Amino acid sequence: MAQEPESERNASGVARTSKRKWGYDSEQVDAFLERAHMLYEGEGAQLTQHDIQNVSFDLVKGGYVIAQVDAALARLERAVVDKQTTWEISQHGRVAWKAQTETLFSQLDAHSKREHGERFKPGEGKGPSYD
C-alpha cells in the first residue's frame, strides 16, 4: 500500500506527518496560532517575542511536521519583533530607540568578551547554575 505524502495541510499551510511519525500536537499548535493571531492584530504589543520563544507543544503521532511549525513560529517572531520595534519608535522616537538598542548592544558585547569562566555569575546556594 502506498504511503500518503506529507501533504495533508491545514488552513495555515502546515502539513501533517504520516500516522506513524511524530509531530507537534495539531490542536495545541492551532490554538496557539489562533491566540497569537488575535494578539498580534490587537493594539500595542500584546504578543511578545518571549511568548513565541517559550511555547512548547506535545509530540503525537500524525501531528504537524515539526520543521514547518518551527518555520512558521520563526516567521511570526520576526513579524512580532518588527511590530514591537515600530511601536517603540512611535512611542519614544527613533533617537531614544536607537540609544536603547546601542546600550543593550554594549552590555552584551562587554559580557561576551569576559574571560572563560567569568561570563556567568556564580550560582547561589543550592539553586541551579552553570558549571
Let me know if residue 74 belongs to a domain.
Answer: yes
Structural domain span for residue 43? 22-112
Q: What's this model's pTM, rounded to 2 decimal places?
A: 0.69
**What are the tens digits of pLDDT across the range 41-84?**
877 668 889 999 999 999 999 999 999 999 999 999 999 999 88
Let me know if residue 63 belongs to a domain.
Answer: yes
Let me know if residue 87 belongs to a domain.
Answer: yes
| Band (12; pLDDT cuts 50, 70, 90) | low
* pLDDT at residue number 2: 42
| Band (3; pLDDT cuts 50, 70, 90) | very low
Let me know if residue 104 belongs to a domain.
Answer: yes
The CA distance from 66 to 26, in Å, is 10
* pLDDT at residue number 9: 55
Beta partners for 60? 23
Let me know if residue 128 belongs to a domain.
Answer: no
Let me know if residue 62 belongs to a domain.
Answer: yes
The CA distance from 56 to 62, in Å, is 17
Report the domain count for the chain.
1
**Degrees to nearest 5, angle at CA 90 with 85 and 92:** 90
Helices (H), the chain: 26-41, 49-53, 66-92, 94-112
pLDDT at 6 over 70: no
Let me know if residue 70 belongs to a domain.
Answer: yes
The CA distance from 103 to 58, in Å, is 38
